[in-house]
Structure 1
Amino acid sequence: MSIAYRLSEVRRSLPEGVTLVAVSKTHPAERIREAYDAGQRVFGENRPQELRAKAECLPADIEWHMIGHVQTNKARCVAAHAAWVESVDSARVAEALQREAARCGRVLNILLEVHVADEESKTGWALDELLGYVRTAPFVAMPNLRVRGVMGVATNTDDMKRVRDDFRALHSAFDVLKPYFDAGFDTLSMGMSHDYPLAVECGATTVRVGSLIFGERDYSAAGR
């Protein structure tokens, strides 16, 4: 099946108003171009260097989302090329992105990544810690960051009850945080290829789908 066909199938399954981020990490620029030619404009990348390389050789109207953990020493690269950073998981990352976005005269849309998964390896704020930080109104001093909502990853399990509980916890986090921000706080990014229909059921406004569109990733090729 072609990328265009797979993309159309995913799009057809989404309700109106839900944004599709086509997760293109590890896939070459030619495959992204196929999705672009089929009408997709929003793509998600995991590594800053890969994001930069693709942004420099693909059409300028692509909206790039950084969805992987951002190391503070890579914040400059991310701030220069991403329109959205979905994976702001600490005060240090937020401050580094503000500094670098100001340096290059850009305003970044950001999502606050909340940890809900039953896995230590997953990144993200504990909600209590994030609430404590947000209550100090730190983003008033970060004019180059626009906080748009919450992102999270559910537990990697076949137990759909656990996945549903994780999505509900993310929706709850969104509701708790919303009063601290303006009307632009409108995005709940959750759900991937294997669980995005359930995420939509639980209130996702953005889903991040990769393998259903591009096929399985070739990690060996990505490392070359």
Structure 2
Amino acid sequence: MERIENNINNVVNNIRNACLKAGRNPDEVKLIAVTKTIDVDTINCALKTGITDIGENKVQEIIVKYDKIQYKPKWHLIGHLQTNKVKYIIDKVDLIHSLDSLRLAKEINKRAKRIERVMDVLIQINIADDEDKFGIGYDELDDFIKDMSEFENIRVQGLMTIVPYVKNSEEVRPYFREMKGIFDSLKNSNYNNINMNYLSMGMTNDYTVAVEEGSNMVRIGTGIFGQRDYSKK
């Protein structure tokens, strides 16, 4: 537990320093602990130290862990979401980060309507046109936003992106800067159900650069829990 607490403190300090460098208020940035492959006891330790939000990549892990997690965190679905899995998490997660298709939006809206809730989502943008990443292209965004404004049980709360992994995080700074520009331009849109409250970008390798460029939601796994042991999945 001490190791995790130290790691969390280190991440928080790095976020604070990045904010100060950029002239921002550190309180603006939400830290999401990414708990992919992490066991329930370890997650509960992190929550005990003050973590309030956890992010899972896979629906199956949310289902397995949901009733075993203490301290009632906010749940974030941050990985690619298949339409046939929406029904399993629609009543569990607080924010879906990975809305990337009209087909998925229709399913989320349908399932949310059935349980009489409005589902908060982020639109995932493939800002680097990376073939290995999900997300819509920038050239599709205007039409996609218009489509999203028609759904009564979806509320767009912002944008998300995953940039390519590089050793030198300075190389991805232009992508983060471009995302912030898109985010800011959409703040003035007058579409129904479209809000720009969250810009989710930045992971363990590049979150300080992301924060310097305007991210207000970072997703940190390795930086908190250490390298994952995928043999325990």
When normalised by structure 1's length, the TM-score is: 0.92
Q: Is the 8 A contact 1:118 1:155 kept in 2?
A: no
Q: 1:209 aligns with which of 220, 226, 229?
A: 220
1:81 shift after superposition: 1.2
Q: Can you give the 5+ residue segments of structure 2 that lack an aligned partner in the other structure?
A: 16-25
AA at the equivalent of 2:73: I
1:210 shift after superposition: 0.6
1:66 counterpart residue number: 77
AA at the equivalent of 1:79: I
2:100 counterpart residue number: 89
1:155 aligns with 2:164: yes
Q: 1:129 aligns with which of 116, 140, 143?
A: 140
Q: Is the 8 A contact 1:113 1:151 kept in 2?
A: yes
When normalised by structure 2's length, the TM-score is: 0.88
Secondary structure at the counterpart of residue 115 of structure 1: coil
Q: Distance in 2 between matches of 1:30 and 1:195?
A: 27
Identity across matched positions, percent: 36
RMSD, aligned α-carbons:
1.7
Secondary structure at the counterpart of residue 179 of structure 1: coil
Secondary structure at the counterpart of residue 111 of structure 2: helix
Change (3 A) 1:83 1:60: farther
1:46 aligns with 2:57: yes
Change (3 A) 1:9 1:60: closer
Q: Can you give the 5+ residue segments of structure 1 that lack an aligned partner in the other structure?
A: none
How many residue pairs are counted as aligned between the two chains? 220
Q: How do 1:21-36 and structure 2 match up within 5 A?
A: 21-36=32-47
Between 51-60 and 119-128, report the one with greater CA deviation. Answer: 51-60
Deviations 1:38-78 (A, max 9, x none): 11110000000111221121136210000000000001112
2:185 counterpart residue number: 176
Q: Distance in 2 between matches of 1:193 and 1:75?
A: 27
Q: Is the 8 A contact 2:155 2:194 kept in 1?
A: no
Q: Distance in 2 between matches of 1:98 and 1:78?
A: 13
1:184 shift after superposition: 4.0
1:7 counterpart residue number: 8
Between 67-76 and 54-63, report the one with greater CA deviation. Answer: 54-63
Q: Distance in 2 between matches of 1:152 and 1:96?
A: 21
Q: Distance in 1 between matches of 2:228 and 2:128?
A: 23
Q: Is the 8 A contact 2:33 2:54 kept in 1?
A: yes
Q: Is the 8 A contact 2:169 2:205 kept in 1?
A: no
1:166 counterpart residue number: 175
Secondary structure at the counterpart of residue 185 of structure 1: strand
1:37 aligns with 2:38: no
Q: Distance in 1 between matches of 2:7 and 2:168?
A: 26
Q: Is the 8 A contact 1:155 1:162 kept in 2?
A: no
AA at the equivalent of 2:91: A
